[in-house]
C-alpha cells in the first residue's frame, strides 16, 4: 500500500531524514515514534504530498507521490502537526469547505460533514467560530477534516495532543474503529497510546530508522535480562544493601520508599532468594513481580543506543 524507499530530505544544508525505507500494508495501523526533531513530521509531510523529498521515492497504492501527486492526494486524509484551521471560519463551514476541496460532491458534502461531526463529537461547537474554540476542540476539528472524505489512508501527526484524558480515550477508540477499514499512520509522544493502538512501530531517531517491528517482537527482542519490582511495608537503609548483596542482581534502585526495581541476569529465578530475604528480615512483602519492559524503555534504549554507536 505504502512503499517508501531511500527517502531523504534536507532543509538547506540540514539533513532532516536520511535513507528511510519501510513498507506499510493495507489495513495496518503503524505508529511513528521518535524524539523531538527526529523527522516524523517531515516524513509525514512528504507522504501527504505537502513537499517533495530531496531523494528517494514514495509509492502509495502504486502512485508515485511526486509524479502522480493529484491521484495520491485523493487517497489520503492528513492531519498536520499544526491543524490547518481557518480561525475566522465556523466549524461546520470549514468542514464543508474541506469536503468540497477533497472532491466530495456538493450534494454529499452535507451528510459527510454531519458524519464527522458525530464521529469527533463536535455537535456542541459546530456553529462556533474555530478561532474561539479550545485547543482540544480545535484538534478535533483538525481530525474531522482529515476524515471528511473517508480516505483509504489516514496520516495523523500527533492526533491526541492537547486533548483531555476522556477525549484521548475517545479519539483512540475512534482510531481503533477506523483501523478496521483504513490504513493509518500516526505519530505520537504518548507511548502507551502507540502500544494500545498500533500493531507495528517505526522508531526513528535523528532522521534514521532504528527499528521497524511489531510491538511484541520488539519487547521480547529487547528483554535481555529481567527486571523485578519489589514492594515492602518496612524498609530501612540496609534493605537496598542486602538486595544488592544477593547473587545475580545487577542493579537495584529504590523508586520510592519501600519500592525497588531489581535488574538481574536473564533466567536468574531469584524470586525465591528475595522472598526468603524479606521473610528473614521481616520486611513484609506487599508485591513481588516481573516488570514488563514498557515501550518507553524500549524507545529510550533504542534511541540512546543509536547515539552511543555514533562517533
Ligand X SMILES: Nc1ncnc2c1ncn2[C@@H]1O[C@H](COP(=O)(O)OP(=O)(O)OP(=O)(O)O)[C@@H](O)[C@H]1O
From candidates 27, 80, 136, 162, binder to other proteins by CB under 8 A: 80
Query: Which parts of the chain fold into alpha helices (H)?
Result: 40-47, 69-75, 91-101, 106-119, 135-147, 165-179, 191-197, 215-222, 237-245, 271-281, 295-309
Query: Shortest gap between Cβ of 136 and ligand X (angstroms)?
Result: 18
In DSSP terms, 229 is beta-bridged to 261, 289
Confirm if 30 and 2 have CB atoms less than 8 A apart. Answer: no
**What residue 111 binds from Mg ion, ligand X, other proteins, none (CB within 5 to 8 A, per partner kind)?**
none
φ, ψ of residue 10 to 5 degrees: the values are -115, 140
Confirm if 197 and 185 have CB atoms less than 8 A apart. Answer: no
3-state SS, 57-112, equals EEEECCEECCCCHHHHHHHEEEECCCCCCCCCCEHHHHHHHHHHHCCCCHHHHHHH
**What residue 183 binds from other proteins, ligand X, Mg ion, none (CB within 5 to 8 A, per partner kind)?**
none
Query: Residue 38 or residue 153: which is nearer to other proteins going by CB?
Result: 153
Query: Shortest gap between Cβ of 85 and other proteins (angstroms)?
Result: 7
Query: Residue 103 or residue 282: which is nearer to other proteins going by CB?
Result: 103
Query: Residue 36 or residue 282: which is nearer to ligand X going by CB?
Result: 36
Query: Residue 41 or residue 183: which is nearer to Mg ion going by CB?
Result: 41
Question: Could you say whether residue 214 binds other proteins (CB under 8 A)?
Answer: no
From candidates 20, 58, 85, 295, binder to other proteins by CB under 8 A: 85
Stretch that binds Mg ion, among 76-84, 177-185, 208-216, 240-248 (CB under 5 A): 76-84
φ, ψ of residue 182 to 5 degrees: the values are -130, 160
Taking only Cα atoms into account, the Rg of the chain, rounded to an integer number of angstroms, comes to 24
Query: Residue 36 or residue 106: which is nearer to Mg ion going by CB?
Result: 36
Q: Which residues bind ligand X (CB under 6 A)?
A: 11, 14, 16, 34, 36-42, 81
The footprint of Mg ion (CB under 5 A) covers 40-41, 81
Amino acid at each position: 500500500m505504502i512503499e517508501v524507499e531511500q527517502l531523504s530530505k534536507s532543509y538547506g544544508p540540514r539533513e532532516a531524514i536520511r535513507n528511510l525505507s519501510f513498507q506499510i500494508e493495507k489495513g495496518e495501523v503503524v505508529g511513528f515514534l521518535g524524539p523531538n526533531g527526529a523527522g516524523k513530521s517531515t516524513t509525514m509531510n512528504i507522504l501527504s504530498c505537502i513537499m517533495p523529498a530531496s531523494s528517494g521515492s514514495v509509492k502509495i497504492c502504486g502512485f508515485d507521490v511526486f509524479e502522480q501527486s493529484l491521484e495520491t492526494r485523493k487517497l489520503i486524509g492528513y492531519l498536520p502537526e499544526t491543524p490547518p484551521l481557518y480561525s475566522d471560519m465556523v466549524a461546520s463551514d470549514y468542514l464543508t469547505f474541506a469536503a468540497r476541496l477533497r472532491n466530495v460532491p456538493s450534494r454529499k458534502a452535507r451528510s459527510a460533514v454531519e458524519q464527522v461531526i458525530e464521529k469527533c463529537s463536535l455537535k456542541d461547537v459546530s456553529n462556533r467560530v474555530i478561532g474561539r474554540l479550545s485547543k482540544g476542540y480545535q484538534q478535533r476539528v483538525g481530525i474531522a477534516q482529515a476524515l471528511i472524505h473517508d480516505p483509504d489512508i489516514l496520516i495523523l501527526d500527533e492526533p491526541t495532543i492537547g486533548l483531555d484524558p476522556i477525549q484521548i480515550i475517545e479519539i483512540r477508540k475512534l482510531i481503533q474503529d477506523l483501523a478496521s477499514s483504513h490504513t493509518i499512520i500516526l505519530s505520537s509522544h504518548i507511548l502507551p497510546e502507540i502500544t494500545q493502538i498500533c500493531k507495528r512501530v517505526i522508531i526513528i531517531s535523528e532522521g534514521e530508522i532504528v527499528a521497524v517491528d511489531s510491538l511484541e517482537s520488539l519487547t521480547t527482542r529487547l528483554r535481555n535480562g529481567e527486571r523485578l519490582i519489589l514492594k515492602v511495608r518496612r524498609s530501612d537503609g540496609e534493605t537496598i544493601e542486602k538486595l544488592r548483596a544477593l547473587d545475580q542482581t545487577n542493579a537495584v534502585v529504590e523508586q520510592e520508599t519501600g519500592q525497588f526495581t531489581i535488574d538481574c541476569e536473564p533466567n536468574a529465578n531469584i524470586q525465591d532468594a528475595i522472598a526468603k530475604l524479606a521473610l528473614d528480615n521481616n520486611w513484609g512483602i506487599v508485591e513481588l513481580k516481573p516488570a514488563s519492559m514498557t515501550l518507553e524503555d524500549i524507545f529510550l534504549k533504542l534511541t540512546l543506543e543509536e547515539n552511543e554507536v555514533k562517533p
